[in-house]
Structure 1
Amino acid sequence: KTITRTWKATDDCLNEATAVQTITVEDTTPPTLAGGVNGFSESTGPDPSINATYIAWRDNYAGIAATDNCSIAVITYTEGNWATSSCGNSIIVIFTATDACNNTVSQDHTFTITDATPPVLAGGADSASECSGADPSLNAAYIAWRDNYAGITASDIFGNVNMTYTEGQWLASGCNNSIIVTFTATDDCGLTNNQNQTFTIEDTTPPTITAPVNVTVECTDSTLPAATGMATATDTCGDVVITESDSSVAGCGNSMVITRTWTATDACGNETAADQVITIEDTTPPTLTVPAAITVECTSDYSSAATGMATATDTCGDVVITESDSSVAGCGNSMVITRTWTATDACGNETAANQVITIEDTTPPTLTVPAAITVECTSDYSSAATGMATATDTCGDVVITESDSSVAGCGNSMVITRTWTATDACGNETAANQVITIEDTTPPTLTVPAAITVECTSDYSSAATGMATATDTCGDVVITESDSSVAGCGNSMVITRTWTATDACGNETAADQVITIEDTTPPTLTVPAAITVECTSDYSSAAT
């Protein structure tokens, strides 16, 4: 700092004099450092800069104390770069003490982090596998377990870890093999940690067996294994013993189904069984003889008792003979029956053969026709009115038909010969005739014009006074007319016109029409013209 000192002199008379003195006080001496040590720590992780021991050492200025003869000294630090070795880290830190006048003094120290902790192992488990062959060291599950270090994981607070394994000896115990494997974790500083795990190979898998294929033999054939086949078996871990046992279920006759159980057993007692089914069967059908084909009338008995019975034999047991009919319908009740005879042995083997039975109809129906009849031509002469024929047949339905032939008579009269024919379903026919006489004895119906009165000057022919009409139920009609008259005054008269209707068979009907011819018209008169004559003249009609 700078001091300004003022000096003052005063004499007895109080005269004064003053002067100024400047005093400069300076500090050029740096602080003094005392103590301070290098630091050490165990590694706590891959980043040394966050090591808690290091941070505490640094922030405590490595134990350095600073003093200054003129002020308070402040300590700061400057970190260098971390140097990394195979199993540690180190750093040089410069600690500087600065006084108030910026006089400084520095001192450096080294902090070293080393790795003295072995790796940490976690997890790992013993394991087991099924036997896969004679050499356990080649077991794929074991190799995978070993190469995966039994599931062990290793970690190290400083750096990398290398895992290795050391295999012990395979030890056999009964049907099992086991080995102890030592797994070792080594870090970059050579620190190690070991862990033992055991792998066991056991045989719980039964052998593989192949039974002979199922076989079917005839009941007379051999069923010994030499004939029906031998089983084979393999095991991944040793020898196999094969045995057999039979059970059977009886079938028809001497047939049966044998279940042959083949059992393969390995050295550890593991077993596999498989069945072979041997079917002993009877496949030979019986011998069958059927009756000869036959033709019978439809009224005959065509049961097997009448048409013959089949016979049969079988080399391997009893035979049951059955029959079933199928038929193709023919005319009426005729048909062709195919009688199928079936011989069945105890095992259901069948032989079938057919017998053909022809049922025919050669007999014509019996026919009854109606009696001969005479009817008016206006009558219904259809078969519904004149009678229906009837017919019967011994072998089915009958169809009755009719056909007419006729000889014409007068008008519509005739003589009909009605031929009735009865035909059965097989075409057998019977025919008979019925004679129907159709006659006409009924005269026509006649309608004459009404009576009429006409002036004598009028036309009184039938064309003017009206024509009669006639109808006949049995043919055409011819109408004729004839007049008779009674004279009156002048040319007047009364005419009686007789109309006659005659049919084709000569039957007649007559009726009269009265025509009155009268004169009611006065004459026409023409008189001479008015005339004037002298009074002396002749005025008679002759003159006037």
Structure 2
Amino acid sequence: MFRLVHTFYLCMQNVSIFAKAFPKHFRHCRPLSAYISEHTYSLLLFAAILFLPIVSKGQCTELICNQNVEVKLDADCLGEANPYFMLANYWSCTGPATMEYFLPNGTPVPNNELNASHIGQTINVHITHDWSGHDCRGTLHVVDKRKPVIEIDHVTLNCTEDTSVPAVGEPTVYDNCSSTVAVSHADSIIDFGCGYTGFAGYFDPANWSVCLTNNGDGGVDVTGAPDSILVEGANNSPLSTSPKYITKFKIVIPTEGFVSFDWSSFGGSYFDPQGFYLTINNWCVQLTNDSIQSGSYTTGLLYPGDVLSFEQVSDGDADVVNTIVSNFHFHTLAWKVIHRTWSATDEWGNTRQYTQVITQQRASLSQVIFPPDHDGTAAPMLSCGAMADLSLTGQPIIDEDGDPLTTSDQYALDNGECAFNVGYEDQHIATCEGSELVLRKWTIVDDCSSQILEHTQIIQLFDITPPVINCPTSQTVSTSSLGCFTSLTLPQATAFDDCSSTITITPEWNFGTGYGPFDDIAPGTYTVTYEAADDCGNLSACTTTVTVEDEIGPTVVCDGQTVASLNNDGQAMVYADVVDDGSYDWCCVESFMIKKQGAPDTEYAPTLPVDCSDFGPNLLVTLKVTDCAGNFNTCDVEVIVQDDEQPVILPPADLTVDCTTDLSDLSIFGQPTVFDNCGFDLQATYNENFTGCGAGAIVRLWTATDHNGNTTTAQQTITLDNLNPWNISGNDLVWP
């Protein structure tokens, strides 16, 4: 064992870290020659190399092995025994040696390499001294004493962000020999609020460490806390010709920030050698000297884990220097700091802890974005009956970059978060039925700066849903019996609304608005639009149709009698419109049709042919008058079929025949030809008028009479004459 005295400067550590942070104020502190500090090291190998004489090969007469030598596996979970520790008499048997490892059952260790499979086992070791050939057998015990490695970054979050493990993340943990590592964590929360003033909260004196070097009797009087503390020098310790006692009042900085304070040293006569120092990570600045005994000081930026120390140097004399530290402030943007201490334990019980610093920064009022107006423009209006709940209307958020379009850095702001007092008051203004206007006045007070931010959010709880309207079914009405028109009142529609009990329904069509009554509506199909309006002006509409039809049949007026005269062919045509005697319809007449009474309807036609068979006074016909809508009415008319055509007789020609002609059959003298449209009766008579010589004339008289009594006569005269008179030439008489 050798005792080495450090003579390098106490504050040389972490120079690269803090040289930039404190280039002007901090410097290397006093050398250890001023304050004796000793460290003892066990450097067996170093001592053996530097101070032991070189042993010749011939001095090793026996090899003695140690038992139960502990072998620690390295970062790769591999290991081997050091022959210097395996040999009890290495000093007499220096030089190379060969080691062989055997399992407890005597089996050689594969590749002569110790690994995780050997942890906890006792391994037999056979050592052979290469120079002398001596050997011995010892044992070793394989252990893993390397702690798991924990890797995780410190995190700075917005004051409203989620700090849970799932949100922040878990560390990467690995171990040299264990595949399974148990990981746990514990959180301690430091609430900075607006920062610390005085020795309170995290900086309460109870959280500081008091360190006294060289058993000095100095101390720290915290009676004045939280306003001040007194760092006392040693005044009743063995007197030293040069100051060697240091009273240190130390604390670990929890998060980024600055420390400012006032200091005042008093007592004693020499303030230069017995100075008051501020030390950060062993970099320090001397605040007092013989010219300056009080002042104010502000550090540079401090980081989590930095160690800040107020240090009073003294020499043990009663003429001691003490320093009061007051007006202490820790200036930080942190609102809360979570020290999340991760613990990782491997399979062999090795445990490592690492503290992750999670800083939640305070926000400024300039980062606050208020929820949008729910006015139908910035954001949709809320429906009637809804509650103006924050879950629907929104609440203020913190926007880190001030750009509302980037949402990944936006976080909801609740009352009490980020040192903000958040509240609102609602003013309710009734509008239409079931709706209201809410003027929500937000007030946010920054507890740290006492600044106030106000904003009025407009929230319209408005009936934006139109009523549900049900139109009446389509309706058909008839025209009036007084004309081709009708008068009507439109049917009622129904409607309901979720918000408004007052619903106005207004029908509208070609003839105006409202339900009516409406007059002089001509036949046709009309669309009627019903519009329903609630109290807030929301509209809905539906349509139906109203059809006005001519359902009134025509008024039929017939002649009492109509005469139909047969033509020379024995036929006549009775026209339907001829037997009409002023039939009419209020809208229009489409047709006049006629048939014989009792005939099938299929025989209706515009005309009715009659002939000789219909002769007589009792022919009844039916007149059917149809309007343009298909309505019809009928009436019966008596048609008198008359035959006014005279029969036509063409008698045979008159003849002159000899008086000697046989007159017993007059037909030999020809028969008359008789014509009539419907038939006739022919009567023949004759009259004779003869002279004594058989000459004279026969008059044949024919009389043709038809069914209507029309009579026509004709005659034939047959003259009888002596066509061969005697002695007409005078030659037949022979005179005597």
TM-score by length of 2: 0.27
Which of the two has higher C-alpha Rg?
A: 1
Bigger relative contact order, structure 1 or 2, given CA contacts below 8 A and separation 6+? Answer: 2
Task: Say which structure is richer in strand.
Answer: 1
